[in-house]
Chains A and B, each alone.
Chain A
Amino acid sequence: AQTVTQSQPEMSVQEAETVTLSCTYDTSESDYYLFWYKQPPSRQMILVIRQEAYKQQNATENRFSVNFQKAAKSFSLKISDSQLGDAAMYFCAYRSLITGANSKLTFGKGITLSVRP
């Protein structure tokens, strides 16, 4: 079974600064997706960024980028130029790509990010 570990329960960043959120995972599979989801207080979870394991290039979406280290099974999220609206809980998630496997997301415990004005 796959597991996702987010060992930092909370982080804080100054507005306009850069912050990196850590995630490690464990799997015996070679093909999978990794995700970062954002869950603002009392609002729905939204996708921040997605990485396909077969791609060597790290995914980027505007101010959000990842550092994907497949051999180390590490998948960190970097938020540049942090904004007040980035304050939320962030979840790292894994999804198998094996044919016939269900497509459920396996989530870490999440990290609460606060942004200081």
Chain B
Amino acid sequence: EAEVAQSPRYKITEKSQAVAFWCDPISGHATLYWYRQILGQGPELLVQFQDESVVDDSQLPKDRFSAERLKGVDSTLKIQPAELGDSAMYLCASSSDSQETQYFGPGTRLLVL
């Protein structure tokens, strides 16, 4: 069964460093989402892509976060510089189109020291 792939699974970094997370959606899925899940909370959307275009990045802290999906397939989420408050699980999800079920990857757990 096809799955959403994410790497790395775990990342420890020091504050002010740059970090990057990668997501490979299920083949053929046009819609890709990045969510952030703080410990003990539900995930919150950071950015949504439809193919290579950003649909919603209203909750993305654009002074330090950036996201791209250049060829409309895999995607990278970057944080520069990382802050202590960025420690969280970063989840990627994809769906065949915006109205269909979202399938989640295993997530990248980030710890900023």
Contact = CB atoms under 8 A, between A and B. Distances in A.
A104 B56 CA distance: 9
Nearest to B92: A44
Contacts of A37: 104
Interface string A25-60: 000000000000100000111110010000000000
Interface residues of A, number: 19
Contacts, number: 50
Contacts of A87: none
Contact of A104 (B4, B40, B45, B91): B45
A45 B91 contact: yes
Contact of B95 (A50, A103, A109, A110): A103
Contact of B98 (A50, A103, A108, A109): A103
A113 interface: no
Interface string B12-50: 000000000000000000010101000011111100100
Interface in B74-113: 91, 95, 98-99, 101-107
B48 A104 contact: yes
Interface of B: 3-4, 31, 33, 35, 40-45, 48, 55-56, 91, 95, 98-99, 101-107
Closest 7 A/B residue pairs (Cβ): A107-B42, A103-B98, A104-B45, A45-B104, A102-B56, A44-B106, A44-B104
